[in-house]
Amino acid sequence: MTSIAQCLAVVMLMLASAWSLADSQPQTASPDSSPADAPTLASAPREENGGYLEVGVLAGLRKSPYFGLPEDNAPEVLQPSLSLSLAGRYQYEGLFAEGYFGSAEGLVLGANLLNQALVSLDLVAMQGHPSVSGKDSNLLSEIRPRRGDLLGGVRSTLHYGDLIAQAHLLHDISQVHNGNVFGMKLGINQLVGNWNLHALVGANYRSRAVADYYFSLSEREIASLIYIENKVPEAFRAEAGWTPMFELGASYPLSERWVFRSLFRYQQLPEQWSGSALLIDDVDQEFLTSLSYVF
């Protein structure tokens, strides 16, 4: 309960700061941003209905810290990927659906509660963690399946010049683990010629209930796992922890409808999870690039 109160206090502090900024700045309308300029943070909310959709090809390289995902995963190995890319945002009367290129949040559904030039407040729902089971890897066939969750809560976003600050406080509304997730991000966008560059730093906190559900292992599960490099398994209970991250990205409009994007993301998993046999590393690194057509 203490961690929830602390997270809520941070969100309220951000909102209070935003109100102070709003009172001290001229109340001008936020400039329209083209789809090519959309960052991985939530873009400035718009009052009009409508949106855009991007469809393209996504290629990536990832240094995954997760055992058996994919099956040939190993420390220091970059795993290539190639897939269809879908991104976009649509809003109608304050209700919205959004999913930005490379966003760790994936698809977000929400309702806007407050929309000012410098601050917005939304009710949001999103998947926080995917399912993990033997269907994803034969190496995990004997472990207890971990179900994917659905998180719901509040998200506050502050806009000040080229800076964007965002915080969300979420709870498991699917009753998979009944845990809480709190996140903070600070990003900046900068135009350099036709290039739109962004940098992002932040951290996510996952409560003990979340960490325990996805990373703890029973004695039976430990005995069933196949280990690489003769790693000796030990029973493990994961605790709450912070995951700091940073991201660098760029987008370039090739034409009125075609957009090139790329980003690099680095995440440091918490020390409290390092003893889990479901992890082979404490670093998650990913490089993504896409070519998309904007509708």
At 94-149, the pLDDT tens digits run: 999 999 988 888 899 999 999 988 999 999 999 999 999 888 888 888 889 999 99
Architecture, CATH, for domain 2-24+47-294: Beta Barrel (2.40)
pLDDT band at 41 (very low <50, low <70, confident <90, very high): low
Amino acid at 61: L
pLDDT of residue 174: 96
pLDDT of residue 8: 45
Lowest mean pLDDT among 23-32, 116-125, 140-149, 212-221: 23-32
CA separation for the pair 128, 180 (Å, rounded): 10
Q: Cβ of 173: how many Cβ atoms within 10 Å? A: 13
Domain boundaries, the chain: 2-24+47-294
pLDDT of residue 7: 45
Instruction: Give the pTM.
Output: 0.80
Q: Which H or E run includes 242? A: strand 241-253
Are the beta carbons of 199 and 238 closer than 8 angstroms?
Answer: no
* Average pLDDT score over residue span 143-161: 94
> Number of C-alpha atoms within 13 angstroms, CB side, residue 141?
4
